[in-house]
Amino acid sequence: MRTRHGTDPTLLVLSSLAGGPKHGYALTKDVEAFAGVTLGPGTLYGCLSRLETRGLVEALEADDRRRPYRLTAAGTAELRDRLHEARTVAQVGLARLSGGAP
């Protein structure tokens, strides 16, 4: 599996949680599956702690020391905004590559 470097882990974690609550290991496997990016525990929990501090994700009741996280309403809005921005950039870039609109 190809690992892409430079992808924002915040966006990856938010995108993964958009599919439903997940604990650390499930998040790692999901991100690996849909983005081909391997998140280490240091990166993953650094990202989760930042998102939790900003109120974008929240922790649920722990199940056998595995605590799932889910998106909050603010997290959903943040993810939507960032994906729209990314789509705009992608559309412009792809259009220019194909010699279309400026």
Partner 1 sequence: MSRRRDPAPSRLVALARASYPSWWKARYGDEVGVLCTDLLAEGRRPSRLAGGLFAGALDARLRGTGLPPVASVHRGRARAALVAATLPVLVTFPLVVWIAFSTDQRSAWTSGAGYWLPAAHGVRQFVRTGGPPSLSAGGYLATYSQLALMLLLMFTFLVLFALWSEVRARLVGGGLAWAALWWAPVLFAAAAVVLSTTGNYVRPQLAAGRRGTLVDGRIVTVSTYAPGGHPLLAGALGVGAWVAVALLLASTVAVAVAVARRELPPETLQVGVGIGRLLSVATALTALAVTGWAVGLALEPRPDLHLSYSTVTSPLAPWSGVLAGVLLLVAAGTVTGARQARRCWRTAGWLAFAER
Residue numbers at the binding site for partner 1 (CB under 8 A): 23-25, 28, 40-46, 48-50, 52-53, 62, 65-67
Distances (CA, A) of 13 to 64, 76, 100: 22, 12, 33
53 or 98, CB closer to partner 1?
53
Min. distance of Cβ 64 from partner 1 in angstroms? 8
Min. distance of Cβ 88 from partner 1 in angstroms? 29
Query: Do 21 and 61 touch, CB atoms closer than 8 A?
Result: no
35 or 83, CB closer to partner 1?
35
Min. distance of Cβ 82 from partner 1 in angstroms? 19
Helix or strand (DSSP H, E) at 97: helix 73-97
CA distance 100 to 10: 32
